[in-house]
A and B are shown apart, each in its own frame.
Chain A
Amino acid sequence: MEKLLLLGDEAIAQGAIDAGLSGIFGYPGTPSTEITEYVQGSKEAKEKGIRSAWASNEKTAMEAALGMSYAGKRVMFTCKHVGMNVAADAFMNSAITGVNGGAIFIAADDPSMHSSQNEQDSRFWGYWSMVPVLEPSNQQEAYDMVHYGFELSEKFRLPVILRVTTRLAHSRAGVNIRRNTKKQNEVSIPNDPKQFILLPVNARNNYRSLIAKQDDLLKASEEDGFNQYFDADNKTIGIIACGLSYNYLMENFSKTKCPYPILKVVEYPMPINMVNKLYEQCDSILVLEEGQPLYEGLLKGLLNKGKKIMGRLDGTISRDGELSPALVGKALGLEVKEGLPIPSLVSPRPPKLCDGCPHIDTYKALNDAVASYSKGRVFSDIGCYTLGALPPYNAISTTVDMGASITMAKGASEAGYTPTIAVIGDSTFTHSGMTGLLDCVVDNTPITIVILDNSITAMTGSQKSSATGRIESICEGIGVAKEHIRVITPLKKFHDENVKVFQEEISYQGVSVIIPRRECLVWANKKRKEAKNNQQ
């Protein structure tokens, strides 16, 4: 046994490497990025020939993962919670096809929205699709549950969701590593030639078979040992502690024993018999969920006529945001310690574009170019450039989801609010912007699309962008007229000519693309450092 100091994300990656992983597919997104990066940086993974390059988006990644599973290999998919929305078509149908080689889909949620636009709870996907969900409470469990997850996936021939949240993904602890690592599976296609052909006639059969597996999935969840029941004498409250919330609960009892019975849940389907035992024994139930009140709601039911169920829905715990030891302690009526208040002079220090960032020069030129029009014409997207929403730029009016800049600008343009401008990053463009651009070309929409090319996926910490070196040819191939694909260099010294390029293309009554191209400074520094280290 060997003990390594690992982030939750890294424990997942090391677990996968040790459990016979053949490939990992994903698109960067906080807090999931470090899983794939760890595999990319692992010497061991390289020696074992584990494939690990980034995909263009979560949908292409999950489909490739499903293909690798079809070919009999163990495979992992990674994304942040909202990435599951992009992959949803592949995901919901993967529950119907099932898998061949073991497949674990990681969804990394971000309650409190540290680096996200919503706090959707990925456990819903498991409930909806009827596939198992694992929700480890700590780094060691994350490592162990990857081994278990692959076994579970191959036993039931279903994909398994492994859900983590920011605090586990980005927190380090000592993890005991097994070194008797499993060999990769041999290539083999499914025994049933119809398994992956979702014609209605097959899909109906597969769906019935998925429903038929539910009893055994429940049995696994009750009996495989990860979900645990801890009895105690005081039956006034029974506590259901899901995933990470178990830690916050136990933190309140680090010096004394918890007086109430606890059901620790880290595997779903929810172990109903264990829940029933708790319900029968106790006067009331407190449900602790790091995320949305999924099981609290199910336990209450629509009519809420049973015993008292406490949690996020009845106000015992805040309806939004992540949990903490103090929030859980207060929910139990414990006296929790307090520190000092934050002095009123402490000002927020929001994230901002780095000094010298190319986006700064782009926004300055764009702001000057649109100054003569009425407000609210610039539609933006997900990336560092979203920070253009903040002062002093105040340059954008929307940020919704990956790729929505182009398509929302299109819709607004077609509503008659012309001209409209879309601002999208290079990686986001190849993630979900290309099809929107095709819609614009097909409809000859009056629109100007600004593709900020800093040659890297910057916000998540410099991952390779699928767009690098391909943007002009993609735009031309989709049908944008060559003379309306303009490349500019976002530098202060070119400000006036850049403003002119923006003005010319904004006044053009058709689809135009402007590509401000200058390398991300953080990435450039990183490259320089790496080159220096390689020289030594």
Chain B
Amino acid sequence: MKIDIILCGVGGMGALSTAAIISQAALDMGMYMKQAETHGMAQRGGDVQSHLRLSDSPIYSDLIPEGECDIILSVEPMEALRYLPFLNKEEGWVITNENPFINIPNYPEKDVVIAEIKKIKNSIVFDADKIARDLGNPKGTNMVVLGAASKYLKIDIEKLEAAIKDIFGKKGEDVVNSNINALRAGREVADRI
């Protein structure tokens, strides 16, 4: 079994902290993993991405080969499109929040961006911000998106919940529960499709 995931967004949106949760869950399952990140200058409001590779056999490349990514998991719709050359165009999924983060003057029209995502064979584009807000956890967008992606991750959602407990445990039970709730709400979205 192997899973190649690209996590993406804009610097400061929490796109990359999702990687820590998936990695923790994968490690608990005894899988091999590699995770390449963006550091340094690019983080200042620029596009950020992480290549996360999980497998039950040793992994060579830190970068996902083009055309082999199983899931693009994004907290921003235009950013999800930036990594399409990596997507497995037959079997891969694009799962993204639908609300643009506009910090450039030439950001395209939202409808056009969404329409472009819907052209992809397998995609889920939804208002993860609203779900997070309604749960009283406006910073939980990334957990909601992860929840939606969990259906295709080949990792049990219970394992992800355990990883959330591990990683956020220090911050108290409230933080753990609100993140788990966000995760479950995201999963419901995917289950309804």
Name 29 A/B residue pairs within 8 A (Cβ), A-sorted: A167-B62, A171-B34, A172-B23, A173-B33, A173-B35, A246-B60, A248-B60, A324-B66, A326-B66, A336-B66, A337-B67, A338-B67, A338-B85, A338-B89, A339-B84, A339-B85, A339-B89, A340-B120, A343-B81, A345-B81, A345-B112, A346-B108, A347-B106, A349-B45, A349-B78, A349-B104, A351-B43, A353-B44, A459-B41
Any B CB within 8 A of the CB of A162: no
Contact of A251 among B35, B46, B65, B120 (CB under 8 A): B65
Beta-carbon contacts of A349-362 to B below 8 Å, as 1s and 0s?
11111100000000
Any B CB within 8 A of the CB of A225: no
Any A CB within 8 A of the CB of B157: no
- In the complex, are the beta carbons of B69 and A5 less than 8 A apart? no
Any A CB within 8 A of the CB of B190: no
Instruction: Give Cα A168–Cα B62 distance, bound, in whole angstroms.
Output: 8
Instruction: Give Cα A170–Cα B79 distance, bound, in whole angstroms.
Output: 21
Q: Chain A's nearest CB lies how many Å from the CB of B52? A: 9
Contact of B84 among A170, A340, A348 (CB under 8 A): A340
- In the complex, are the beta carbons of B104 and A339 less than 8 A apart? no
- In the complex, are the beta carbons of A336 and B62 less than 8 A apart? no
Residues of B within 8 A of A30 (CB): 39-41
B72-111 interface (Cβ within 8 A of A):
78-79, 81-82, 84-89, 92, 103-104, 106-108
Beta-carbon contacts of A112-136 to B below 8 Å, as 1s and 0s?
0011000000000000000000000
Any B CB within 8 A of the CB of A384: yes
Any A CB within 8 A of the CB of B37: yes
Any B CB within 8 A of the CB of A516: no
- In the complex, are the beta carbons of B60 and A337 less than 8 A apart? no
Residues of A within 8 A of B168 (CB): none
Which of B65, B84, B103, B120 lies at the interface centre, i.e. has the most chain A CB atoms within 10 A of its CB? Answer: B65
Given contacts A349-B47, A351-B45, A354-B44, contact A338 B66 (CB under 8 A): yes
Any B CB within 8 A of the CB of A325: yes
Instruction: Give Cα A33–Cα B27 distance, bound, in whole angstroms.
Output: 26
Instruction: Give Cα A5–Cα B63 distance, bound, in whole angstroms.
Output: 17
Residues of B within 8 A of A (CB): 10-11, 23, 27, 32-47, 51, 59-63, 65-69, 78-79, 81-82, 84-89, 92, 103-104, 106-108, 112-113, 116, 120
- In the complex, are the beta carbons of A343 and B42 less than 8 A apart? no
- In the complex, are the beta carbons of A352 and B23 less than 8 A apart? no
Any B CB within 8 A of the CB of A72: no
Residues of B within 8 A of A252 (CB): 65
Instruction: Give Cα A247–Cα B63 distance, bound, in whole angstroms.
Output: 9
Residues of B within 8 A of A5 (CB): 23, 27, 33
- In the complex, are the beta carbons of A171 and B36 less than 8 A apart? yes
Any B CB within 8 A of the CB of A333: no
Contact of B61 among A174, A251, A345, A349 (CB under 8 A): A251
Any B CB within 8 A of the CB of A419: no
A242-294 interface (Cβ within 8 A of B):
244, 246-248, 250-252, 254
Residues of A within 8 A of B59 (CB): 173
Any B CB within 8 A of the CB of A387: yes
A290-329 interface (Cβ within 8 A of B):
324-326, 329
Q: Chain B's nearest CB lies how many Å from the CB of A174? A: 7
With both beta carbons as reference points, the residue of chain A lying nearest to B24 in the complex is identified as A5
Any B CB within 8 A of the CB of A31: yes
Contact of B46 among A172, A343, A350 (CB under 8 A): A350
Q: Chain B's nearest CB lies how many Å from the CB of A292? A: 20
Instruction: Give Cα A286–Cα B26 distance, bound, in whole angstroms.
Output: 36
With both beta carbons as reference points, the residue of chain A lying nearest to B47 in the complex is identified as A349
With both beta carbons as reference points, the residue of chain A lying nearest to B12 in the complex is identified as A354
Q: Chain A's nearest CB lies how many Å from the CB of B134? A: 27
Residues of B within 8 A of A174 (CB): 27, 32-33
Instruction: Give Cα A30–Cα B44 distance, bound, in whole angstroms.
Output: 14
Instruction: Give Cα A244–Cα B27 distance, bound, in whole angstroms.
Output: 23
